[in-house]
Structure formats: C-alpha cells, structure tokens
Amino acid sequence: MDALEMLAKLLPEEQFEKIKAIDNPELHAFLAEWIEWLEPSRVFVCTDSEEDELYVRWKALYYGEEKVLETPNHTVHYDNYYDQARDKANTKLLVSGGKEIPFLNTMDRGEGLREIRELMKGVMKGKELFICFFVLGPKNSIFTIPAVQLTDSAYVAHSEFILYRKGYEEFKRLGRNARFFRFVHSAGELDERKTSKNLEKRRIYIDLEDETVYSVNTQYGGNTIGLKKLAFRLTIQKAVREGWLSEHMFLMRVNGPNGRKTYFTGAYPSMCGKTSTAMIPWENIVGDDLTFILPVNGIARGANVEKGVFGIIQGVNPEDDPIIWQVLHSPVEIIFSNVLVKDGKPYWSDMGIEIPDEGENHSGKWWKGKKDKEGNEIPPSHKNARFTVSLEHFPNVDLEALNNPCGVEIGGMIFGGRDADTWPPVREAFGWEHGVITMGASLESETTAATLGKEGVRAFNPMAILDFMSVPLGDYIRNYLEFGKKLRKTPKIFAVNYFLRENGKWLNHKLDKAVWLKWMELRVHGDVDAIETPIGYIPRYEDLKRLFKEVLNKDYTREDYEKQFTIRVPELLEKIERIEKIYRDKVKDVPEELFRVLEEERKRLLEARARHGDYISPFVLG
C-alpha cells in the first residue's frame, strides 16, 4: 500500500484532504509511518487558517494543558516540577557508530532510534495528534526552512503558532521540492495536573542524518518545541555544511544619530541579559534568540528564525523592562508558564511589586515557605518560568526587518557572558578573526537555572551555543573564520559583560547596557575614537560621559569608568590559559589561527603588564 492510501485509512476524510493537498511523497511516507506507530485516537492537521489555529488554542484548554487567566487571551501552562528546563543529559545526537565527539552528547544512531521508537510505540493512545506546518526564517526567502511537527501536546502546538511563521501553504507551494525538518513529540502519560509523568523516560534524540528530532515524556518548551532548540541542532549542521551561520543570537536595531539604523546580533548564554538587551526601550527588537546569517553579495545579512519570544519572566519589572511589562499586561495572546497564579492573575519572583504568599505554581498548591522533596524552599515562580508571545505585540518591534525576506545588514555582532572579574563592560575586537577567537570562541559564563544542574560555576560556552552544538567544535569555528573571508565588509565584533562584581557588588547598573549599545553603534560607523588595549578597543571616558548623560541622564564618574574599564591582566591571562587548554586538550582539529591569535593576545598582555603592572587603568592607555 502506498503512503497516501495508508493515510486515507488512518485519517478522517477532512484531515486526509489537507495532507493530500501537499504534493510530497516523502512527507506522506513520514506521516503514514508515524501515525501508525504513535496510534493516536484522533488526528488534527493544521493548515494556515485562523480557524485551525483557534482549534489548537481551544484544545490546549480543553485538555487542561493550559488554563485561562483573568486577562483575555492569557493562559497559564505548568510543566512537571522536575521538568522545568532543558534536559542536557538526555538530549543526544544520534550518529552512526556512536562516535564520541568532544562536548557533544552523542549516541549510536541505530541504538537511539530503537530506544526512542520503543518509547513512542502507541504512546498517543487516547490522545489527539496535531500535525502542524511551520517555517524557520521569513517565508519564501533565502532563509526559509520548512518543518513539520507532530505532537500530542496542544500546548506545544499552540506555542509554535505564537513563535513561528505558518508553513502549510509553503509546503503546498514547494511540493516535492521541499527539503524539510521533522519533529515528533509526545508528552507521554500525564498526571492529574496534566504534566508529563514518566520523567525517568524523558528523551530528546536528534537524528542528524534524517534531520528528524524525537522528544518524549517532557513538556518544557526547550525540550519540546521542535522549531526552537531541536531544530537549532539541525540548522547548525546545515549552516556549517553550506557555509553560513546559524546562531544563538538576538537580532536588534540600534538607533544612531539622524535616524540611522544599525543592526546587531548578540550571543549570550541563557540568563545573561540577552532578552533584556534585545528589548531595551531605546532600540528596536527583531528577534531575541535565534538568527540566521547568510553572506549576500559580500554582506552579512541576518534574519530572525522565529516571530515570537519564549522569554524568562523572573525579574521582569516595570522599571527595568517597561516594554515587556507593558506587553505582559495587555490583553494579547500570551502563555505564562510555571508562574504563580492567584485569583486568575500571574505573578513571578522579583517582579518589583508585592506578590501573594499563596496560590498555584509549578509545584501545585503553593504557600510561602513550602519545601520540595529535597527540602529546598520553593520560590513563587520557577527561575526558568517563561512567557510566550508574538513579537507583533511589542510596541518596539521592527516589523519591516522581521518580515524582510532579504533580512538586514548586520553592522555588529556582540558576545556576552556572566563574568565577575575578567572582561570589561564593553570592548571592540581588532577585526573578524580576533573577535571570533578571543570573544566568541572564548566565551565563558557562570551556569544558570536555564538547564538542570548546579548554578554559578564558570563554564566554557563558545558563542553561547555549546548546549546546542551538533558538529565538532573545530569545524564550527573554522566555518566562522571562513565566513568572514566571504565578506567584503565584515560586521564589527564586540564583547560585553554586564556582571562585573567587586566584593559581591555589581559594578554596573542593569540599564548601563543602553549606553554600551549606543557606543557600539557609533563605532560601527567610525563616529568615535577608542582606546587601544591589549584585548581590543575600549570606549574613551568623554564619549561614555556624554552618552550616559544623553541616554540615561546620569553623571558617569571617572571613578566608575576607571573601575569598570581597568584591564585586569592576571585574570585575562588566566582566562587565555584556560581557553587554550580546552582547545588543545579537549577539542580536535582546531584551526591553527585560534592558537596564534590567543598567543598574540597573551603577548600583548605580558608586554602591557611589564610596562604598567597587573591592573591597568584605562587613563594610562588612553
């Protein structure tokens, strides 16, 4: 029996017709195989119609995966108390022979497929399967990658409607030519709170050969929303093969003098200020998490892979995040996840207003002082609690850039980590190679609650992408270096650090990044000079003083500047040691340039130390 005939048997006519309208035998075969295997009790195929989207939204409520809140269009979703973040240990890349690749969690492909298939056999009995079509990147563009999602979670499907551009018509248009990604997800058996129950059998397996990802016994978005971090593993592989960049980066517009628009990407590990930078009030957001960057006629052009935000809610407060605050308090479609709810209103930790001391949260019924099984006090909302909302609802979105099929020209690329004592708040690389190696490939950050495991440990996280890396790191860095050679104009590269501390106290205010952005914008166009240091260019005091006044209406003191921009030679040298050691000992096949560029930086630091000592004031250099 051919796949279409099988589908005609498996599906009610109305659903079958929607599939039949797509002329793609490969898709038909995939669907027939998996519908038969998963054994759902019902199947719903989503087209791009408003009606089908509403159907999914309704089903999320009907099946109890979401509940309504008081504000129209707001819902809340809970993940299991122990399913609140990406599960790194159980996320594996399936590669033939199970070859070990440093920093990647690999597993033999055959074995992985057997295991995951077993876990998924008949897993949708009694449940409804949603078949959804989306695209990564703007539609009908050089960036577009079509994808099909199978899931028994209406919450996952609903999230995808908020976060991605619809793709059913695109599949129809592309027909047999579509090369598409596939995602198969099941939340597995649910408990009475409608959260995944069998967490010990939680698995996320990424088949790099078939460009298919399987996810089971989990609901947390980072483990389940196919087009987000699951697709990301596939696009990294694709980009390295094809010579472009698929990055864990926001995309934003920084507004320069006289209406000048300059676009920046930014890579920061989770919880290091990425979303709040992309959302900063003075500027305009294009995307907050994933960016594709393609070389077009020698220019690096970027596009947001998504059209919505799955953002961290903890700490969002009216003073520091006025725009997000405003959006979260307007009656637009929003899914709140793992927050505290009381009388139909959502609350979260550190929201800057008083919050109730009881209600419902990710632990079920909650009261202040409640402890979990491990004896830890449960906060009002989980640290990784999130909101899901479309970017179109943000007053500061740059819709033209978001929808532009040609993307936007990238003026600057920013790398930022959580670092208490080494990097200055902002600096510019000497050039592409220097930036890629000493900033991107050398990124370290203290671990956070975005993944399961211990927090606050300094961890190597090149390009903030390590959690998602799907190719050998050496290949990935080589591709970056090669990418620069394809350009006639490379974006400027910058590194930022919002987390400098002295005696446990922050050296910067949360909003200082607004000033760093304006400075970087000016640097992209050569409008201000800078001070050359051993580790790149840093701002001059006069320029920052002026910008602090203009942007924040603050008097920026020489003392603050000196403290923040001191070149900390011992820490910088230690960092080079650490990074070099990792690349020498742990990563195979590293481009030689990497060691050369690190060595040059070390030399510059040693020379500077010989002349000026361990801690070099920027006033000495400037």
Residues at the interface with ligand SPV (CB under 6 A): 86, 221-222, 228-229, 270, 289, 310, 450
- Find the Cα–Cα–Cα–Cα dihedral 94, 95, 98, 104, rounded to 10°: -70
Residue 13 corresponds to which amino acid?
Answer: E
Distance CA 269, CA 277 (A): 13
Contacted by 308, from Mn ion, ligand SPV, none: CB < 5 to 8 Å by type: none
Residue 162 corresponds to which amino acid?
Answer: I
Which two tokens mark 541? Answer: 């005091």
Residue 458 corresponds to which amino acid?
Answer: R
Give 59 or 229: the residue with its C-beta nearer to ligand SPV: 229
| Cβ within 8 Å of residue 124, ≥6 positions away | 38, 39, 40, 41, 152, 186
Binder to Mn ion among 53, 79, 152, 289 (CB under 5 A)? 289
Residue 483 Cβ, how far from ligand SPV at the closest point, in Å? Answer: 22
Give 268 or 565: the residue with its C-beta nearer to Mn ion: 268
Distance CA 408, CA 411 (A): 9
287 forms beta bridges with 251
Residue nearest to Mn ion (CB): 289
229 in Cβ contact with 468 (< 8 Å)? yes
Contacted by 301, from ligand SPV, Mn ion, none: CB < 5 to 8 Å by type: none
Contacted by 221, from ligand SPV, Mn ion, none: CB < 5 to 8 Å by type: ligand SPV
| Exposure string for 406-428, b = 16+ CB within 10 A, e = fewer | ebbebbbbbbbbbbbbbbbbbbb
422 in Cβ contact with 575 (< 8 Å)? yes
Residue 478 Cβ, how far from Mn ion at the closest point, in Å? Answer: 24
Residues in the chain: 622
Give 310 or 494: the residue with its C-beta nearer to ligand SPV: 310
Residue 101 Cβ, how far from ligand SPV at the closest point, in Å? Answer: 21
Residue 310 Cβ, how far from ligand SPV at the closest point, in Å? Answer: 5
192 exposed, middle or buried (CB, 10 Å; 0-12, 13-18, 19+)?
exposed
| Cβ within 8 Å of residue 77, ≥6 positions away | 60, 65, 66, 67, 155, 219, 335, 336, 337, 338
Phi/psi for 16 (5° steps) reads -60, -40
Residue 312 Cβ, how far from ligand SPV at the closest point, in Å? Answer: 8
349 in Cβ contact with 315 (< 8 Å)? yes
Distance CA 69, CA 116 (A): 36
Q: Which stretch binds Mn ion (CB under 5 A): 144-152, 193-201, 202-210, 289-297?
A: 289-297
Which two tokens mark 36? Answer: 């038969």
DSSP summary character for residue 499: -
Which two tokens mark 187? Answer: 């939340």
Give 310 or 556: the residue with its C-beta nearer to ligand SPV: 310
Give 19 or 303: the residue with its C-beta nearer to Mn ion: 303
Helix axis angle for 231-242 and 473-485, nearest 10°, is 50
Give 83 or 428: the residue with its C-beta nearer to ligand SPV: 83
Give 280 or 355: the residue with its C-beta nearer to Mn ion: 280
372 in Cβ contact with 382 (< 8 Å)? no
Distance CA 64, CA 75 (A): 11
Give 288 or 543: the residue with its C-beta nearer to ligand SPV: 288
Residue 252 Cβ, how far from Mn ion at the closest point, in Å? Answer: 15
Catalytic residues: 272
Residue nearest to ligand SPV (CB): 222
Distance CA 251, CA 262 (A): 11
326 in Cβ contact with 395 (< 8 Å)? yes
Residue 166 Cβ, how far from ligand SPV at the closest point, in Å? Answer: 20
Q: Which helix (H) or strand (E) holds 106?
A: strand 106-108
523 forms beta bridges with none
| Residue 5 CA: distances (Å) to CA of 9, 28, 40, 112 | 7, 10, 18, 30
Residue 468 Cβ, how far from Mn ion at the closest point, in Å? Answer: 8
Contacted by 434, from Mn ion, ligand SPV, none: CB < 5 to 8 Å by type: none
582 in Cβ contact with 459 (< 8 Å)? no
Cα–chain-centroid distance for residue 556? 33
Residue 386 Cβ, how far from ligand SPV at the closest point, in Å? Answer: 7
Residue 311 Cβ, how far from ligand SPV at the closest point, in Å? Answer: 8
Contacted by 310, from ligand SPV, Mn ion, none: CB < 5 to 8 Å by type: ligand SPV
Give 310 or 347: the residue with its C-beta nearer to ligand SPV: 310
Contacting positions for Mn ion (CB under 5 A): 289
